[in-house]
Amino acid sequence: MSATAVLTPTVPAAVPAALHAANRPVAKLHSVTKRYGQTTALDNFSLELHPGEVVALLGPNGAGKTTAVRLLLGLISPNAGSVRVLGRDPRDADARTRIGAMLQVSRVPEMLRVREHIDLFRSYYPNPLPAAEVIRIAKLDGIAGKMFGQLSGGQKQRVLFGLAICGNPDLIFLDEPTVGMDIETRRALWDEVRALSAAGKTVLLTTHYLEEADMLANRIVVINKGKLLCEGTSAEIKHRVSGRRIRCITQLDPEFLRTLPSVSDVQQDREAMVILAERPEEVVRTMLVRDATLHGLEVSAAALEDAFLALTSEQ
Amino acid sequence: MATNAIAVSPRTLGFGYYTRIFRKETQYEFVKMLRTKAYSLSVVGFPVMFYLLFGTSNRHNMFARYLMPSYSCMGVVSACLFGIGMGIAMERAQGWLELKQASPMPRLAYLGAKMISCAAFALIIVAALLTLGITLGGVSLTAVEGLKLAGVILAGSVPFTAMGLLVALLVPANAGPGIINLIYLPMSFASGFWMPVKYLPHWLQVIVPALPTYHLGQIALSIFGYAEPGSMLIHWEALAGFTLLMLGAAWIIFTRSEARS
């Protein structure tokens, strides 16, 4: 549960220093608290990124995901706790030459061509990727000569992704990278994230798409209201919600359903009710007896989404 | 690969690296401003249009000559207030500035590129007005006068860049154009950019020395012999003081908002 549990495993003296170093975090938030006026965006939050990992920071809107990214990028400083990136303070400009970031930008200067944006961002880094390589990886062929203002939402996101990898960074932050993308482009971007990971890069992505976290991340960190809820592989998180998921249309009161034995969560999903229960047979039996109008019944294994809903609603 | 990821070896990035960033940043900033018609057309277009209306119609009298330096001043003020003030306010509101700050780009490159681009626009305005003055306005002037005017306008871009910075920090992006017009149009009029200050209402003449535009105007007009009597030194001092005041205020507001964020 606690992020510090994975900190510095004991390494025998005989192990080469390089291997030891590989286990040290690339980036680290340690007991960070960040307040904006009265609201607490992050509350005693810790996070570590290890070399080559893809970590998904998962949570609903306002959970504190973007705040965590902005802290790691040195754009803001914490009220309490410490932030280290590549062994130094992220406000240190030198550290930034090894970092790439894709942030939620509402508008990019529209009167520059895609190729020009890439050329400009490449100049910021001492060892950039060749422009042709950026265009290939971010799938910008065909639109490189277009003005940014002429692009569709998904294409704009791809350009922002391209800018994030321009400097051939070792550590990449992707803040809600696939917002506005259609399914096809989203999947293409997932492939690129996997390729980055395969090349030994460390990636932190924030998302509220559970599928995205499930597909990409070695490790998922679930946060809500600025607090760490749990972390682990997607299988581990699903496992936290044992039992199965009942979905049906019923007139029964959610409050009543919560009182049934073995029920761990009840959620309204549009017209349907979604119930998580350890012993679904018992619950369904009771429901059928109580509600003759019950229809559209489905019973399935709990998905990551249910785990997520259960976790975030526990608070 | 993984071991490299742990710590950045402290290395100093060379002079060439920084020069390249400055060059590219300035090049693309200028191209961007040029392509943004709302900026380039209005900033260059207004002084040119006004000169065509009021300068050429006063062909062969003093106004054809007078309006060249005075509209040049108006040009540099609007180029800087819109270019720096609006430019930064918008890129800040849209999150673009934050993405740049997350990159290794030095802050000075961003600011320097904007400042040089605005100054370049101011020089384009000077060149356009001088050309119009000589061809359509029937004005005769020496090359030295023209170069002096360009130099004064270039120097004038410094105080108004500083003012643009303060505007960028204070004015919300969507209200920007309206507020900047409200600042710079009355200031231009009151500072004698349309007619000499001595023809303005008496109450205006009293408050005019408080305006930075007045001091810039006097320096530019002095090249052509239209300044009010007196030493130019006091006007240079006023502009220097104004620059420091604007930079100081911008610095205080900026560090306060940094501390809050």
- CATH code at A241-314: 3.30.70
pLDDT at site A159 = 92
Q: Could you tell me if residue A200 is left (phi over 0), alpha (psi between -120 and 50 degrees) or otherwise beta?
A: left
Strands A80-85 vs A54-58: parallel, antiparallel or unpaired:
unpaired
DSSP class of residue A88 equals: B
Which residues does chain A have within 8 Å of residue B260's beta carbon, measured at their own beta carbons?
36
The Cα of B253 is separated from the nearest Cα of chain A by a number of Å equal to 16
Chain A contact probe: residue of B4, B6, B19 with most A CBs at under 10 A: B6
Record the pTM. Answer: 0.80
Residue B29: closest CA among chain A residues belongs to which residue?
Answer: A112
What pLDDT digit, counting tens, does each position of A108-122 carry? 888 899 999 999 999
- In sequence order, what DSSP letters do the residues of A35-73 get, joined into one string? EETTEEEEEEEEEEE-TT-EEEEE--TTSSHHHHHHHHT
Which structure tokens are listed for B138? 């029937």
pLDDT at site A306 = 66
Q: How many CB atoms are closer than 10 A to CB A82?
A: 12
Q: Give the domain ranges of chain A.
A: 3-232, 241-314
The Cα of A236 is separated from the nearest Cα of chain B by a number of Å equal to 26
pLDDT at site A305 = 66
What are the phi and psi torsion angles at A179 (to 5°)? -60, 130
Taking the CA atoms of A78, A82, A84 and A87 in sequence, report the sign of the dihedral they define.
positive
What pLDDT digit, counting tens, does each position of B193-218 carry? 888 888 888 888 888 889 999 999 99
Which residues does chain A have within 8 Å of residue B261's beta carbon, measured at their own beta carbons?
36, 75-76
The Cα of B246 is separated from the nearest Cα of chain A by a number of Å equal to 25
The Cα of B103 is separated from the nearest Cα of chain A by a number of Å equal to 6
Which structure tokens are listed for A31? 């007991």
**Mean pLDDT across the stretch A121-142?**
91
Which residues does chain A have within 8 Å of residue B19's beta carbon, measured at their own beta carbons?
none
Which residues does chain B have within 8 Å of residue A103's beta carbon, measured at their own beta carbons?
95, 98-99, 102
Which residues does chain A have within 8 Å of residue B104's beta carbon, measured at their own beta carbons?
93-94, 96-97, 124-125, 167
Chain B contact probe: residue of A70, A108, A110, A111 with most B CBs at under 10 A: A111
**Mean pLDDT across the stretch B1-13?**
48
Strands A54-58 vs A39-49: parallel, antiparallel or unpaired:
unpaired
Q: Which of B31, B95, B102 sits opposite A73 (nearest CB)?
A: B102
pLDDT at site A264 = 81
Query: What is the layout of strands, in order, in the sheet containing A27-36?
Result: A39-49, A27-36, A80-85
The Cα of A294 is separated from the nearest Cα of chain B by a number of Å equal to 49
Q: Give the domain ranges of chain B.
A: 15-260
Best CATH choice for the domain A3-232 from the list 3.40.50.300, 3.40.640.10, 1.20.1740.10, 3.40.50.970: 3.40.50.300
* Contact predicate A130/B49, CB 8 Å: no
Percentage of residues of chain A with pLDDT beyond 90: 28
For residue B23, what pLDDT band results from cuts at 50, 70 and 90?
Answer: very high
What are the phi and psi torsion angles at A250 (to 5°)? -145, 155
What is the C-alpha R_g of chain A? 22
| Contacts across the A-B interface (CB distance below 8 Å) | 121
Which residues does chain A have within 8 Å of residue B96's beta carbon, measured at their own beta carbons?
105, 107-109
Residue B20: closest CA among chain A residues belongs to which residue?
Answer: A123
ipTM of the complex in this document = 0.85
Q: Which residue has the higher pLDDT, B86 or B6?
A: B86
Q: Which amino acid is at A73?
A: L
* Cβ within 8 Å, pair A99-B102: yes
What pLDDT digit, counting tens, does each position of A218-269 carry? 899 988 888 888 888 887 877 666 678 889 999 999 999 989 888 888 888 8
